[in-house]
Amino acid sequence: MSHNLLQGKKGIIFGALNDQSIAWKVAQQCFAQGAEIVLTNAPIALRMGEINKLSQECNNAPVIPADVTSNDELKNLLEKSMEHFGGKIDFILHSVGMSINMRKNNPYTALNHEFTHKSLDISAMSLHRLLQLAYNMDAIKDWGSVVALTYIAAQRVFPDYSEMADAKALLENISRSFGYHYGIRNKVRVNTVSQSPTRTTAGSGVKGFDGFINFAEKMSPLGNANAEDCANYCVTLFSDLTKYVTMQNLFHDGGFSFTGVTKEIIEQMEK
């Protein structure tokens, strides 16, 4: 249902790879709530062509390629987006993650640090790069909002989440640190949303994902939050209803983060 929460707002959505992607649902929901959007992803991801379907659904939203490890491509994205919008940007979703070591099945105790460097660059430092460029170009409107997606492995150990846990810890800290500076200068807010395990291309790449998602389901009083509900939550953070929320890591996980144990888990252990 649309409440036009984002009427007149203009935003950039990173990371819609296919219709399973959390960013895909966020783009749909932002559009449904009245926003104008620009879509972006790494050039290699765009070659699959799926994003064109999403673009059409969202009033032919422009699709502008940008690898988040490239300053030049991100600068071009911000410039072209402002040209398209005819002004500054109201909101940005950073929904980007990639672990080369996970792809290569390297466990945490046997990381290839060249790969780790790349994983941290893509998954965490990219948020700093993006915010720094936006800050220096004065690309985000006062009271604008930036949200990056993260996972609770930044706070607690999930062994198979491997180097991505370190990447998410850095991502969350960048959002706090840059949130301070952007808040002081432009009242721009920067938050991370810590989402339940979700069946997507990136999510399913984590070893033992099926066990993992089922465990989280049983450990969450409300059950796992799905991608559509994550999108709804992001919309509230882009809207003017959350103007004083910044520098926060916000759990969107059905209560998982504050649950010690549940009846279901105890019953299972007693079997």
The span of 62-70, 74-82, 137-145, 174-182 binding ligand NAD (CB under 6 A) equals 62-70
Spell out the alpha helix ranges (H) of the chain: 22-32, 43-46, 51-57, 71-85, 100-103, 113-120, 126-137, 163-186, 201-204, 209-218, 227-238, 263-270
Among 32, 38, 45, 188, the residue binding ligand NAD under the rule CB under 6 A is 45
Tell me which long-range contacts 32-35 makes (C-beta under 8 A, separation of at least 24): 32/2, 33/2, 33/3, 33/4, 33/5, 33/6, 33/7, 33/235, 33/239, 34/2, 34/4, 34/5, 34/6, 34/7, 34/8, 34/9, 35/6, 35/7, 35/9, 35/10, 35/11, 35/90, 35/91, 35/238
Tell me: does residue 195 bind ligand NAD (CB under 6 A): yes
CB of 43 to ligand NAD, least distance (A): 8
Site for ligand NAD in 114-133 (CB under 6 A): 122
Site for ligand NAD in 196-235 (CB under 6 A): 197-198, 200-203
Residue closer to ligand NAD by CB (options 78, 202) is 202
Tell me: does residue 97 bind ligand NAD (CB under 6 A): yes
Tell me: does residue 95 bind ligand NAD (CB under 6 A): yes
Contact 223, 198 (CB under 8 A): no
Tell me: does residue 61 bind ligand NAD (CB under 6 A): no
As a whole number of angstroms, the distance between CA 239 and CA 48 comes to 31
Tell me: does residue 153 bind ligand NAD (CB under 6 A): no
Residue closer to ligand NAD by CB (options 6, 16) is 16
Tell me: does residue 69 bind ligand NAD (CB under 6 A): yes
Residue closer to ligand NAD by CB (options 25, 88) is 25
Q: Which residues bind ligand NAD (CB under 6 A)?
A: 15, 17, 21-23, 41-42, 45, 67-69, 95-98, 122, 149-151, 195, 197-198, 200-203
